[in-house]
């Protein structure tokens, strides 16, 4: 049973109450089709569990298979600098086939970001270090594929279906 080495903290992108009884951490790749399939499942879990669930997303771009993944992660982090991480996160997963630079810039504009600042920060790779920090924390946790989930800091090795994740989250709450 693998435990999360880097605990969830202020540096993380999280949705849901800090005091939620269960925290679901995903190491994900924005271009990964399996992460794309997990995205609506996580949304459904969030809706079903409400304030009982805190969801955390950490970047784990698999550049050797997904050439746009790291750049998409940078786009999400660049949006985060303007207070719109989750909006960009959702846009990217809902448009996984549109991850070219022009697409990401259009997304930034449609989300109301300062497009000049967005472009400047993307070109200078201002947030690449953050993406790499997430990636390295995943490596230290034994993450080697995406999505990889941790429930209350324990690696989830089961399927990523709604039913299996829902049962695992409920089991984690029952163990408290």
Asked if residue 10 belongs to a domain, the reply is: no
C-alpha gyration radius of the chain:
16
Q: Cα(18)–Cα(21) distance, rounded to whole angstroms? A: 9
User: Domain limits at 58?
Assistant: 26-174
Q: What pLDDT, on the 0 to 100 scale, is given for residue 176?
A: 78
Asked if residue 18 belongs to a domain, the reply is: no
E-state strands within 17-124: 22-28, 53-59
Three-state secondary-structure class, residue 58: strand
What is the number of domains present in the chain? 1
Q: Name the band, by pLDDT with cuts 50, 70 and 90, for residue 173.
A: confident
Contact, 61 vs 173, CB < 8 A?
no
Instruction: List, for residues 138-159, the tens digit of each pLDDT value.
Output: 999 999 999 999 999 999 999 9
Give the number of other Cβ atoms within 10 Å of residue 33's Cβ. Answer: 11
Asked if residue 170 belongs to a domain, the reply is: yes
Residue range 93-119: mean pLDDT, rounded: 97
Asked if residue 12 belongs to a domain, the reply is: no
Asked if residue 6 belongs to a domain, the reply is: no
The DSSP output letter for 52 is: G
Q: Which residues pair with 26 in a beta bridge?
A: 57, 149
List the one residue out of 112, 24, 94, 99 whose CA is nearest residue 61. Answer: 99
CATH code of the domain covering residue 37: 3.40.30.10
Percent of the chain with pLDDT over 70: 99
Instruction: List, for residues 43-97, the tens digit of each pLDDT value.
Output: 999 999 999 999 999 999 999 999 999 999 999 999 999 999 999 999 999 999 9
pTM: 0.96
Q: What pLDDT, on the 0 to 100 scale, is given for residue 21?
A: 96
Asked if residue 17 belongs to a domain, the reply is: no
Q: Cα(40)–Cα(114) distance, rounded to whole angstroms? A: 28
Asked if residue 1 belongs to a domain, the reply is: no
């Amino acid at each position: 049973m693998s435990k999360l080495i880097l605990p969830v903290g202020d540096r993380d992108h999280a949705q849901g109450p800090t005091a939620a009884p269960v925290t679901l951490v995903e190491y994900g790749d924005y271009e990964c089709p399996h992460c794309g399939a997990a995205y609506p499942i996580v949304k459904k879990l969030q809706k079903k569990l409400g304030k009982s669930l805190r969801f955390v997303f950490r970047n784990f771009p698999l550049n050797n298979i997904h050439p746009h993944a790291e750049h998409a992660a940078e786009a999400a982090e660049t949006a985060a600098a303007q207070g719109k991480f989750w909006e960009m996160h959702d846009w990217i997963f809902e448009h996984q086939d549109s991850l070219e630079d022009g697409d990401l810039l259009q997304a930034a504009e449609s989300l109301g970001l300062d497009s000049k600042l967005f472009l400047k920060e993307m070109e200078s790779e201002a947030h690449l270090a953050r993406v790499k920090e997430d990636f390295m924390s995943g490596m230290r946790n034994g993450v080697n594929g995406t999505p990889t989930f941790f429930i209350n800091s324990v690696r989830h090795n089961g399927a990523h279906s709604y039913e299996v994740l829902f049962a695992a989250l409920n089991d984690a709450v029952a163990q408290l």
